[in-house]
Structure 1
C-alpha cells in the first residue's frame, strides 16, 4: 500500500489536531532560550515577529525571557485565539499580540522588526523563499532565527529520503542551508541540532492520547484515520532513522546594506 504524504491531509484537520497540544512541532523552551543567547542587545525597544507561531508555546518563552514586543502570526484563527488567551493568562498581553496572516505574504512595514523568529514553520513555504521574503521586514543588522528539518549526513537510506523529500522538497544538509542563508543576504551566527527529547518527549509522546481522542471524535472519517496513520508513521521512522536527520536551529544576521552595493 502506498503511503500518504502530508500534502494529502486536510489542513483544517491538521490544525484541529494540533491546536489541542502544547506544541505543534519538535522543540523545547530550553532550546528557544539557547537560540536567544546568540542574539545580543535585546531590550524593551526590541520588536520580534514570530511567524507560523501556532498556539504560541515559543512565543511565551520569548516574552518571558526578554522585554521585547512580540507580534505572533499564524494562518489559523483558532491558534491565534489560543495564543492571545495564553498571553492574557501570563499577563503578557501588553507585549504579545497574535494576528492571523500568511508568512509568505507578510503585510508588515519594511525594516519593522529587529528579530524574525520561526520554529518548525519555514519549511511550509521553503527555506530560501522564506529567508528572502522575510529579509525586507528586518532592520539593518536584524536577526533571523528558525528551526528547519535538515539532513545530518550526505547519504541516507532511500526510505527516509523519500519520506522527507515528499514532505519538505527542499530538505538539505546543514552546510547547504548555511550557504542558502549567505546567498540570501545573511551572516550565519549559529547552527545547532535540537536534542532527541525535543522530538520524543515534546512532540511524539504527547500525541498518543490525542490521536485516540481524535479518532473517537471522527469515527469512520478516512481522512482523519489517514492523518493519524501518517503521524504514527512519522514517529516510527524517527525512531528508526534519527541519526540521519532532525531539526536544526539556524540563527543569522541580516547584512546591513545588502542590495545597496554597486557590484
Structure 2
C-alpha cells in the first residue's frame, strides 16, 4: 500500500495533482482509521496507464472514458485529427523560425507577405537593414532575405551579359515618344539598366536626360555607350534609388520608366513620381499585364507567385486616373518585345547552365522561360503614356 506522497513520488507527479485526480474521480484512495489515504498497486498502475493515454494527447475526461470502458474509436479519431492539425501548425512555426535564422528557405513566406501586405513587407525589410530598392529586390526577386546577397550575385552574373533587362523594343520607345504632346527639354529615366531606351531617347530628342538605376555594372555600361556616342553633354548617369528620388530644383518634363515601376509597385510609383513632374508633365512606363480573364491554371499559378500584383490594363488605367493623371495613350508592345528580351536571356541561361546548376537562380529562370513560351495571348507588356493633371 502507498501513502499519497509515496504514490506521487513513484509515478513522478505531485501530491496536489493526485488530490485533483481524486476529486475528479480518476483515483480512489481508501481512508484509514487514522485519517491517512492509502492506495494500492492497482492505483499506481492505473496512473501509469493514464500517463500513457495522456501522452497520446487525451484530456482527463477522455482518459477516464478509456480507463473505465472500451476505447471510443470515434473520440480517438477526432483527437488524432486535432493533433495532426496542431502538429502541422507547430511544424510550420518551427520551419519559419528556422528560416528566419537562416536555416531554411523564406521564399514562401516572403511571397505570402508580398501578396497580403506588400508595402508593410518592404518597410519591414528596410528595418532589417535593406535599402528601399534592395528591399524591393528581396520581395520580388530573391524572396529570401538571408540568401539575398548570394542570389543577387548569381542573378547579376547572368544579366551582366544582356543588353535588355526587360521586354522592350526601340520601336515601342519611339512610338511612346510620339504620344508626348510636346518636345521635352528634360527627361528623368528611372530604372535605366544598361541604357537601351536611354540611347533611343537621346537620339530622338534634344532633351537633357538623367538616367538612374542602382546597379553599378549596368550604369558603367551605359556610361560607355554615352561616351561612345559623344552624348556626355546631354546625358547624365546616376546611381539613385527609385523609391527615394529627391525633388528636383526644376520639375521634370518627362519621367520615363520601361519595365521597372513594378519594383516598388505601380501604385507607389504613380504616387511617388507624380510630384517630380511639372504641371502637364508626362509619365511613360511599361508594365506586364494579363490579356485575358481565362488563364491556364499552371500559368496563373506561376505568375501568382512571381508577380502577384500583375493585373489587366483597365485596372492600371483606373489607378493612373486616381493618382492624378490623364491617359494620353497606351498600347500593347506585342510579342516582339517579349522575344527581344527572352530569346537572348534563354541563350544566356543555356550558355551558363553548367555554372548555374543547383542554384535557385537557374530554377527560377527556367520557370520564367517556361512561362514565356506558354504566355502567347495571355500575358504581354503594355506601354502607358500619362499626363499630370
TM-score (norm 1): 0.87
Residue-by-residue CA offset, 1:59-92 (whole Å, 9 max, x unaligned): 1011011101110111111111111111111111
Give the match for residue 259 of structure 1: none
Q: 2:215 aligned with 1:71, yes or no?
A: no
SS at match of 2:382: strand
Give the one of 259, 264, 277 matched to 1:120.
259
1:155 & 1:175 partners in 2: Cα distance?
Answer: 16
Q: Which is further off, 104-113 or 80-89?
A: 104-113
Give the match for residue 260 of structure 1: none
TM-score (norm 2): 0.60
Q: 2:346 aligned with 1:208, yes or no?
A: yes
SS at match of 2:162: coil
Q: 2:361 aligned with 1:227, yes or no?
A: yes
State the Cα distance separating 1:94 from its structure 2 match.
1.1
Q: Gaps (5+ residues) in structure 1?
A: 256-263
Give the match for residue 250 of structure 1: 384
1:189 & 1:55 partners in 2: Cα distance?
Answer: 28
1:250 & 1:111 partners in 2: Cα distance?
Answer: 24
1:20 & 1:108 partners in 2: Cα distance?
Answer: 33
Give the match for residue 162 of structure 2: 21
Give the match for residue 374 of structure 2: 240
Q: 1:107 to 1:86 in 2, by over 3 A?
A: same
SS at match of 1:250: strand
Larger relative contact order (CA 8 Å, sep ≥ 6) = 1
Contact in 1 for aligned 2:346/2:369 (Cα 8 Å): no
1:182 & 1:161 partners in 2: Cα distance?
Answer: 27
SS at match of 1:172: coil
Q: 1:209 to 1:244 in 2, by over 3 A?
A: closer
Contact in 1 for aligned 2:214/2:239 (Cα 8 Å): yes
Give the match for residue 152 of structure 2: 11
Contact in 2 for aligned 1:110/1:138 (Cα 8 Å): no
Give the match for residue 172 of structure 1: 311
Contact in 1 for aligned 2:188/2:211 (Cα 8 Å): yes
State the Cα distance separating 1:233 from its structure 2 match.
2.4
Give the one of 324, 328, 334 matched to 1:189.
328
1:12 & 1:139 partners in 2: Cα distance?
Answer: 38
Give the one of 279, 286, 301 matched to 1:162.
301
Residue-by-residue CA offset, 1:175-207 (whole Å, 9 max, x unaligned): 01000000111001111111202112x112212
Give the match for residue 54 of structure 1: 193
* Count of paired positions: 247
